[in-house]
Amino acid sequence: MSITTMLSGRGAQAPAAPKTDVALDLRNVQKTYDTPGRPHVEAIRNLDFQVRRGELVCVVGPSGAGKTTLLRSIAGLLDVTAGEVVLDGTTVTGPPEGMAVVFQEYGRSLFPWMTVRQNIELPLKEKGIPKAERREKVDRALEEVSLSEAAEQHPWQLSGGMQQRVAIARAIAFEPTVLLMDEPFAAVDAQTRAELEDLVRSLWKHLGVTVLFVTHDIDEAVYLGERVIVLSNRPTVLMEDVKVDLPPERDQLTTRSDPRFGELRGHVYELIQRAKRGERPDETAAVDKGV
Ligand SMILES: Nc1ncnc2c1ncn2[C@@H]1O[C@H](COP(=O)(O)OP(=O)(O)OP(=O)(O)O)[C@@H](O)[C@H]1O
Ligand SMILES: [Mg+2]
């Protein structure tokens, strides 16, 4: 996948001014894969939820539930089978304006023969942004992720955590209105992960970007999110949309030792366990109705 398919941020043709406070609207989204040798893999049975402008929402669910499928559908990298993804009032039919994606595999998403600066600059260049403006945007993004000194180095000269910060810098240099992240910190150590979580919270706060963050890690979802969307086993439906009523100022020590954090984590954990056992709200509803 090329950089241009991953990043389609605000350039010369910025999207029309938003009309409502809903940034992302998933309307009965369904996705079934049909590939030779493995026909009819129903990944998403039905998802219907909204993300408000400027919200940070986490998505958790059992492995293979359809989280990446969901993110790729939202990013316009996959066609949905039914339903629609609506971004700022417009149905997504391809990579939309104003959206950036950060994937787990930073190693594969950065070009090793380019410097950090060149990697961040590439999508801006492809978008036709003039040189001086590009330089300014790259410098600002590097500063945001505290990597100004690494600008002229190559990705392979950096640690895993630093490389993932470059991938984040590349996404934010584009000034997206929506940032999608798919298990972005799964491959880094625990301490780096905590630092990157705090980086996401602080960028989210001062850039005012809408963030949808997919993770396996229940603690991470509760720590980061304003809401946690819990998905069922495949074919996925919504298990529960959990509101995270923790104070907005979060830090690794205070927040994680807050009794409410423990309650929320326990609740999401329980939901995931139930999802793994194959419990699903759509079937409960069917039984209730005697179907
Ligand atoms: N390109 C594809 N073609 C066919 N089937 C696919 C494709 N991508 C995913 N699937 C299938 O769709 C289902 C959901 O996969 P997906 O990668 O979305 O799950 P996930 O929740 O992201 O899993 P994980 O937690 O392991 O990352 C799986 O059964 C997977 O095999
Ligand atoms: Mg995945």
Say if 234 falls within a structural domain. yes
Does residue 208 sit within a domain?
A: yes
116 is a domain residue: yes
Residue 142 forms part of a structural domain: yes
Q: Is residue 285 domain-resident?
A: no
Assigned domain for 288 exists: no
Q: Is residue 125 classed as helix, strand or coil in its secondary structure?
A: helix
Query: Does residue 286 lie within any of the structural domains?
Result: no
Structural domain for 232, as ranges: 3-9+20-279
Comparing CA positions, the residue from 121, 145, 119, 151 lying closest to residue 134 is: 121
Which string of DSSP letters, residue by residue, matches 157-188?
GS-HHHHHHHHHHHHHHT--SEEEEESTTTTS
pTM (predicted TM-score) = 0.89
With respect to residue 14, please indicate whether it lies within any of the assigned structural domains.
no
- How many structural domains does the chain have? 1
Find out whether the beta carbon of 31 lies less than 6 Å from any atom of ligand 1. Answer: no
**pLDDT tens track of the chain, all 291 residues?**
334 335 554 443 445 555 579 999 999 999 999 988 888 999 999 999 999 999 999 999 999 999 999 999 999 999 999 999 999 999 999 998 889 999 877 667 899 999 999 999 998 998 899 999 999 999 999 998 999 999 999 999 999 889 989 999 999 998 899 999 999 888 888 888 999 999 999 999 989 999 999 999 999 999 999 999 999 999 999 999 999 999 999 999 999 999 999 999 999 999 999 999 999 888 765 444 444
- In this structure, the residue with its CA closest to atom 9 of ligand 1 is 69
The CATH number of the domain where 190 resides is what?
3.40.50.300
DSSP conformation letters of 242-277: EE--S-SS--HHHHHTSHHHHHHHHHHHHHHHHHHT
For ligand 1, pick from 29, 38, 68, 216 the residue to mutate: most ligand atoms within 8 Å of CB: 68
Beta-carbon contacts of residue 148 (< 8 Å; ≥ 6 apart): 139, 142
Compute the distance from residue 291 Cα to the ligand 1 centre, in Å.
29
